[in-house]
């Protein structure tokens, strides 16, 4: 009896399928392979909005003479949407440095791992302002700072980093960065 019930269900499914495709006709055989055109690349809406916001900010009258003086060669980063006042306060030492990481003697792989662990630990503990000492490269081959550029690049990639700037001379100068983290 089970076989009969299964056979009748299959027969019903077959009949429904045949009814559904009754009007279907084979495609003409012309020997060519039809290729669908490539879809256009997605429009980078957020990139466009970010560029527009940066342009508007640069053209606004909110810039002061101090902003122009502050925008020298010193490394700094400010997450989009934050006030430039945040970076100014970070530069001036208004934020108290609560912890630090010294990367001296580490290679780039060790340094990246140490930085990621340090930032995660700081976020867990509620630490907001830290110093990352990358060094000046005086002990490196050709006396060039290897970690300096790497650390800046790594910090920009981390969502918990709101801003960073070169440390004041008393805090390490060009051999360190002061970093502001999310709460």
Residue 20 falls within a domain, yes or no? no
- 131 and 138 in contact (C-beta within 8 Å)? no
Q: Tell me how many domains the chain contains.
A: 1
In a domain, 98, yes or no: yes
For 114, the token pair is 């140490």
Separation between Cα atoms, residue 180 and residue 163, nearest integer Å: 5
Domain that residue 123 falls in: 75-181
Under a CB-based contact definition with an 8 Å cutoff, are residues 134 and 173 in contact?
Answer: no
| Residue 71 pLDDT | 46
- Tell me if the pTM is above 0.75: no
Residues written for the chain: 183
Give pLDDT tens digits for 91-137: 888 888 999 999 988 888 999 999 999 999 999 999 999 999 988 76
Q: What is the CATH number of the domain that holds 131?
A: 3.30.1370.110
Radius of gyration, CA atoms only, the chain: 30
């Amino acid at each position: 009896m089970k076989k009969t019930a299964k056979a009748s269900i299959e027969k019903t499914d077959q009949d429904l399928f045949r009814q559904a495709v009754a009007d279907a006709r084979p495609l003409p055989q012309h020997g060519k392979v039809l290729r669908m055109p490539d879809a256009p690349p997605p429009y980078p809406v957020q990139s466009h909005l970010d560029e527009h916001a940066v342009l508007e900010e640069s053209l606004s009258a909110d810039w002061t003479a101090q902003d122009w003086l502050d925008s020298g060669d010193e490394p700094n980063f400010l997450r989009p949407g934050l006030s430039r006042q945040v970076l100014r306060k970070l530069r001036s030492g208004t934020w108290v440095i609560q912890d630090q990481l010294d990367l001296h003697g580490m290679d780039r792989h060790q340094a990246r791992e140490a930085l990621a662990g340090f930032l995660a630990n700081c976020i867990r503990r509620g630490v907001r302002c830290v110093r990352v000492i990358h060094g000046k490269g005086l002990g490196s081959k050709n006396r060039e700072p290897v970690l300096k550029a790497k650390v800046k690049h790594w910090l920009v990639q981390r969502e918990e980093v709101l801003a960073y700037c070169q440390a004041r001379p008393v805090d390490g100068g060009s051999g360190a960065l002061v970093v502001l983290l999310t709460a």
